[in-house]
Structure formats: structure tokens, C-alpha cells
Structure 1
């Protein structure tokens, strides 16, 4: 079945049938019946595989292009249409003979190898394996969408001989059209493709255009590859930042937990502080066998205000707590007190013991009134062995004699 300007055209072959006609005695014809034919005398012909298309020539049509499009010999179009010249003009009507042909696989130019992609293949490894540059491999496969991702099982065309751009012949397109589009000689293109008659090519066949490179396609793929690389780097940077943030958060949480644990351990190890206000009882003298050498207050016009009392005693005399309390400070002073101890008695009341030769307590300890906390010395700003004793209330130095018996 063929079509003439969209109307199906059917061609039939009518088989011959043998009939016998007899006359009756009256001269009238007898009923007509088919004569029995010899066995296998009637044969059904194979389906008609020949027809014509009535085609109206359009501007730009050529005889060779039409012949290639409908896969017939140009001479057959001339003979069927009763033409003597291959020159066509718009509006001219042609009878194009159509002959059924067997389907065949797409034609691949000689020297082009069909390669099936394997898992792990990349454009770079294949280029090195076949001794090609990436541009040459891209030119033979201009439909590739990525330089990094090849689908296992897909087909790549590998030029082993002439290098160039490998294109698929489109419907209604000829080798001459392709050659003209890229400014090549049709003879050179035909030779590179091993074609003697360009009309033999059909739509879907591959045509090699020697010396043509798909540079634009390659540059676009390189740009796409770079964009994908930057996207991967940016994603990795964000992932690393998130990992660092999470690690920092874990470290902070661990530090807080450790600090909390230390505080809890300190609270368990430290004895319960019993806060005692001054009103609960007076103080006792921190020394025995002493004499007061300096009193509390202003000592002279050119001397520093004295914030306590000085009790002279032999070197090494034991110093005791004037009142029960917790050791707040026990160590060296950088402001002249030398080795000294400060006791916290609660209610904002503190006592200070300075210029010791040796300290007998540690910070955090609880001491009872009369318990030894150190020994008389002459450390710091001192001119001889003595104890500098202070009483502070709310951080303000008070006269110790007001709190001693």
C-alpha cells in the first residue's frame, strides 16, 4: 500500500480463473460453473511490493536528494516521471517508484569501531587505551552528555583510522548535504566513508566528516565538568563545616559535663562549710607570749595607714585561728604579706594572718578556733619576726582590738 498525496494507493494482482460455458439443446447457455483445475493450478502471488508516490516538487528539492530520501535510483524517478533532464522546478509532479527493501542495520564507516562501555570506563581511560585525545573521542560521539559519567552497556564509536566528526544522516539528508554544510568536498567525504554511490546511504547511517572536530561540544562538556566539580567541592565544604560544628558542639557539651562533674566531686570532697557570724562568739588571741608593736590606724604623717595589729613573738611560734572558719587563702602574697592565711568566718567576717615562716593549712579546709594554722616568721615586707593580724568585715579592715578579749 502506498500513498498519493495522503490517499492510500492499492495495487492488486487479479488471478486468472478458468470457466467452462456449455450450451443446452435449446441453444440457451447452461449454468456456468468453474471448471475443476488441476491440483496446485491456482497460485497466490506474494504481496505487491512495488508502487509509486505522486510528489509535488518544492523549492530547494533536487533529484539526488529525493532519490536519497526515498532510497531509489535517481534514474528510476526520471523513467517513471517521463523526464529527460534532472532539473526540477517547484510545482512539478513526479512519480517516485518505491520498491520494498529489506531492513538492514545502520551503516558505520570503515575504520570506526563499535565499543560497548564496561563498568568503570571513563572518557580519560578510554582515550588513553585507544591512543586518542579526548577531543577526538568526543568528536566521534558528539551526543555524549558528560565527560565523567559513561553508562555501562552503552555504545561508543572509536575512530581507528581517519579522525573527524561522526554524525547520523537525517531524514531527507544526503552525504552531499553534510559535506556542503561543513565546507568539505563530497568526494573526500565519500572516500573517508568508503561510499561509491552516495545514494546508497539511508537515514540513520553514520557519516564521518574527516578533519572536523566537535570543539564547541567539548568546551561545553568541560564547562559542565568544572561546574559539577565546583558543586561537589562546595557540598564537601559544607559537609566539613557541619562536621566541625558538630564536633565543636560535642566538645562544648563534654567540657560542660566535665566541669559539672568536677563541681560535684568538689562538693562531695569539701567539708560542709559552717558559716559563723561574729555575733555567735568573740575571737581569741592568735598568739601566746607576744607583745603589740604596732596598733591599728594612722602611724604618722608620712607612714602608711596600718590595717591591723603587729604581734611580736619568737620565730616559729605557733599561730592559731582566732575563730572557727574555712581557709579561704593559704599562700604567698605579692603585696607584702609574705606567706599568709585568710579565714572566712561567715557573715562577711574574715581574719588575715601575715608574715608566716610556714603555713600549716590548705585552701578549703575547715579549722576550729585555737587550731594551728601556721608559724611566726618575717616573710614579705617585714623587719623582724612578728604576726600581722587583721579583721575585715564586708571587705573593710576593722580594729582587731574591738573583737579580741
Structure 2
């Protein structure tokens, strides 16, 4: 039988037996060489169940979470029910890992950080990191994951690798085997195996802690920068909103200004038209012999609308001193001469024929008599302040068919 076939079969069974016919110099006939069994390699498929976390699954199978992520081709620790994971198999013992007597387990809760957990158990952050050197953040702890809490002597907590001994760890960190054995309550180095945790008393993971502090600072700066960016973005959006509102206000103000200008222009055109009509009327009526009823006067109120909440003024007010003579603006018959129930006080109304009448109000004394015919410029009374009046003046009206008209259209 060829030698490579013998070796192949031996590797499959874990024991190499030398066949007959092969020289056995220096070895007794019954000698056997023990060969370690081949490592258990491969994957186990696991379907994620509700409530599962990556760290809990890793602990259940005795592998690192990163190994599961690498084997399953995932980049996030977030899992969803129904996901299928590939769990890498190892040759570590399947029994629960041994913990030193001075170390306990703690399950991470929502909101936990390294600082808050350390404070809860009266530890320093460095002491907690030394007991959990595999942590990759001081702030981001996965809910449901396990932290190791030293309740006695503090130190570096490491998991024994395959082929590694307590003597190897003690030599690596400059400790005596006796000191390591005492800290872990070991009577013999053979009491531990690969996968068990070993506490190295007095050793601190300063390099790891410094790296995590630098990472924490960088992450905080990144968060602050993101907060500043969001604040600047909010300010930019607010500035754009304010600019838009300001543009709308300006547009509305411009529209209001244009509307006001249009109203002013319309009023100006109306005044021009009215004045034009008055001028045209003056040429027509001047021949009819109209005159102002008083001399040396001031027009204090004109014909038309006086305000938003005031009555339309039906004539013109000619302010003059008390007792100033009032004359007939045109020849006609005295239609009324007496007290007015409509606020004109002592007043006179003349009928000029053709449905045209003139009225003279607020007199202090009346001279004309009802039914009397008076000539243009004939005295009919005196200026006063009777009736609804705020001072001595003559209220003068022109009516056509009983409708008041602008007296300025009938005066020279």
C-alpha cells in the first residue's frame, strides 16, 4: 500500500498505525503515534428568531460576532427575523467558558455607556475597558450584549486561545504564574482550557482605552459638525423663507402703492372732469345772473362726500362774520322763510322757475317774506349760526328738480 494512502487514512481516523513491511527502526511493534483529530471546520446555518441579537447568537455558538458577520456577508449588527446566518464552527470546547471568581456578567441595557456602567459598579472607565478589551466604542454598546464586571481585583481579562497556557500569558505580561493562578483561583494550570477567561491582575488596557477615547472624541466632533451643519441648513432655509416673505411683503406693498396711485389718478381725473364740468356750467349759467350770496367769505366746506362716516354735503359753506348781509343769488320768489326742521336753522328758499331753487341756511335774522319776489343781489337775511352749525356761515344750495347740485357749477 502506498505510504500517502496510509497517511490519508490515518489523518481521517486521528491515529497513524505503521503497517507491516515498513521499517520500524527504534520503535516497538505495538507503538502508535497519536495525531490530533482534524479541526471541525465549516458552517452551521441558523435562522434568526424574534428577539435574537448578534451578540447573543455569537455567545450561544461560542464564536465572535465579527466572525458571524464575515461568514454571512453582512455589515450591520441589526438582524431581522427570518435572516439566515452562517455560523463558523470552531474546535473550541462547547462547554460554557470559565470566568474567574472575581468577575461577573452584566447584560447591556438601553442607554448604557462605558462611563455609566463603570459608575454603576464603582469602576473607572479604564478598569471596565480592561475587563472588556474587545469593545469598539465607549458610547455605542449593543443592547443585550454581555459586559464583564470585575468585582474583586481589577486587571486585564483575556480569553485563552487554543494552544495557549497560563504560563504564556503570565510571561507575555510580565507576571508570575503563581500570581495569575491566585487571581483566577486555580490550583493547577490544567483546570482551564481554550475559551476560558483569565484575569491578569494589575494589567490595564491603556492602549485600547486611549484608542477608544480618540474614537469617542472623533465621533463627538462628527456629531457636533453634523449638528452645526443641520443648524446652518435650518438657518439657510429660514433665511430663504424670510426672504420669500419679504419679497411677498414688498410685492404686496408695491401692489398697494400701485392701487393707491391708480385711485389718486382716478380721483384726479374725476376732479379735473368735475372742474371742467363746473367751468362749462359757469359759462352757461353766468348769463342767468347767478352771484355769490355773500361777499368777503371763505369756503370752508365744498359740495360732496366729506368722509367715510359723514353725510354728503349738499351745498357749500361760506364762512363770514356774524351779521354779514346775505343776498339773493338770482331773482326769484321766496318759497320758504323761517325755521327749518332739517338742521338749516333760520333759512330762506327761493324759486327761480324751471324747477330750479336756491337755499340759504343758518341765518341770524331773516329779511325776506314768503311769497315775496326778490331781485338778484337783494338783501334776504344775515349770516348766523342757527340750526346744525359749528360757527357763523351761510350754507348755500342749488337744487334742480329737488336734487342738490354743485353750486360752483352755477356761480361765476
Q: Which of the pair is proportionally richer in helix? A: 2
Band of TM-score, shorter chain: 0.3 to 0.5
Task: Give the TM-score normalised by structure 2.
Answer: 0.44
Task: Give the TM-score normalised by structure 1.
Answer: 0.45
